[in-house]
A and B are shown apart, each in its own frame.
Chain A
Amino acid sequence: MPETQHSPAIEVEGLVKEYEYHHKEPGLRGSLRSLLRRETLHKRAVDNISFQIQPGEVVGFLGPNGAGKTTTLKVLCALLYPTSGSVSVLGHVPSRREASYLRSIALVMGQKNMLWWDIPAMETLLLHKEMYRIPEREFRTTVDELSEMLEVGHLLRVQVRKLSLGERMKMELLAALVHAPDVLFLDEPTIGLDVVSQARVREFLKGLNAQQGTTILLTSHYMDDIEALCPRVMLIDMGRIGYDGPLASLVERTSPHKLVSAVYAEPVPRDELLNAIGSLPVQPTDDPLKVSLAVPRDQVAEVASRLLRAGRIADLSIEEPPVEEVIREVFGKAAGERGVS
């Protein structure tokens, strides 16, 4: 079924995924007992979530450990059979596992290897060429293009086990993308990479989305990834979506303060300063000439002008609080509701 121009690339409605597992008691006796009488338990990893993603969107999945992010991705990739709810990607129902569907998506998991360890990555690429039925010409140009973007052309014929973690991750991305998928699912693609490699991967994904219009759904625990790549984020916790929208509004909603900082050129009289600060909470700074205040959004202008008047100013800045902090706050709240400290 070809998708029409305006239908969403991904449509999820009331998705539930429960895992079955067995309670194992510790020790030999416990093992024997559970052999005889196995209690089947259910873990609801994804609990009735719904969302839509339009073609060409880049969406970030945010959530604490065990939130259900990976589970959702695996359902979308047809690895897991949904317990209930409906899922449609590019007009296909993933769980039917049609070859035409699997050909149009790609999955990269930062914690798993798709490349064969003992042989050069090129061999795996050739395997993908066969599996995805990529014509020779197309294959050559795609590999050239991607390896140039990722700067790994010279490593294609080196055994995978001799590559560094960052190089290997880039190679995994290359292998996942040789068949030019329409939708790309990424599960923590930058895990364990250094800051420079992380930035490279981000840049690459950004370029991919801009040039090919690839729809991307990614999870990451690195806020830099999310900030740089995802205009839209979905917050998931305990299998439910708590927020779905632009990252900026999430920050605004969660943290009604902005950070106003002033650096003075010379020490300011104590009274003047206290007057300017009023009852606002002061953030610790390491510079005796610097004052940082968390200011409610509607008082920012007024407070800034009071600070300006208090002394000879060298620098004044008004910032959003760091995203990391906001997310920590959101997750902390969620954990608090769960009764976890």
Chain B
Amino acid sequence: MLRYVRLWWRFAIMSLVREAEYRVSFAVSVLVGIISLAIAVLTYGVLYGYTEDVEGWSRAEVLMVLGCFRVAESLIELLVARNMWNIAEHIREGDMDYVLVRPVSSQFLASLRVVNPSEGVNALVGLGLVVYAGNMAGVEWSLERVAAALVFGICGLILLYSVWCLAVTFGFWFQSGPLESVLFWLIDTGRYPVTFFKGWVRLFLMFIFPVAFASTFPAQALRGEINPRLLLAGILMASLSLVGTNRFWNYGVRHYSSASS
């Protein structure tokens, strides 16, 4: 475990060294992140221009959800997004060869080796929004609430990672699928409290594509609504999905056909 942390740290350093070459693109990506967040905040302003309460969420609380979502989204971008976008192509073009030959989990290497450091700034901005909106909503920052929010958030990240990883693993059989891009658009639903959605859509966002664990539930925990059963469900689902994706990945690797070179 510690070894994998050190390994990831090397990846982070390598990515930073590389990114330092492209300072402009670094700045641009931070700027884009901040602008898109500002637009989202303004949208909520319009929504709450007419009412103080939507489905039991005040304006400040919804901003908290948005903040949580931004943190989660930025962390996904920081850690895995670039890798996931490329896995299908790497499988198709045979570029997995040098991943599979290493004495390290190939899933870890393939899904986490490229780090996108500029997103770290966006994650911090998101965190800032959580604190700002939380204060506006009158949140008491107790240890219990913060810890629960963290656990929800981590489970949410693991779950989103797993779903994405599951989708790209199919690339070992079908050279590429449209599945990944659908997922990428789906993640945007996390901007809104999951209670805005009804019926099966809500269930879908809680348990099939569990983006709610990364945005709504942490915000709820900060608001003081800590549902122990939901927390337990999150931990269970996250652990199971990690084991499951790893099994599936290792099974997929057997179907890797490289590419003639």
Contact = CB atoms under 8 A, between A and B. Distances in A.
Contacts of B17: 119, 123
B189 to A, nearest CB: 30
Contacts of B21: 118
A112 B14 contact: no
Contact of A99 (B14, B97, B103): B103
Interface in B56-111: 94-98, 100-104
Interface residues on chain A, size class = 35 or more
B6 interface: yes
B18 A116 contact: yes
B103 A131 contact: yes
A247 interface: no
A102 B7 CA distance: 17
Contacts of B98: 107, 112, 114
Nearest to B6: A130
B26 interface: no
| Binding site secondary structure of chain A | mixed
B97 A131 contact: no
A283 interface: no
B118 to A, nearest CB: 15
B41 to A, nearest CB: 35
Interface stretch (B140-148, B161-169, B239-247, B249-257): B249-257
A109 B97 contact: yes
B261 A112 contact: yes
Nearest to A77: B101
Contacts of B96: 79
Interface string B1-16: 0010011001101100
Contacts of A95: 254
Interface of B: 3, 6-7, 10-11, 13-14, 17-18, 21, 94-98, 100-104, 253-258, 260-261
Interface of A: 19-20, 66, 70, 74, 77-81, 95, 97, 99-103, 105-107, 109, 111-112, 114, 116, 118-119, 123-124, 126-127, 130-133, 187
29 contacts: A19-B257, A20-B257, A66-B260, A70-B261, A74-B258, A79-B96, A79-B256, A79-B258, A81-B255, A81-B256, A95-B254, A99-B103, A102-B102, A103-B103, A107-B101, A111-B261, A112-B261, A116-B18, A119-B14, A119-B17, A119-B18, A124-B14, A126-B10, A127-B7, A130-B10, A131-B104, A132-B103, A133-B3, A187-B261
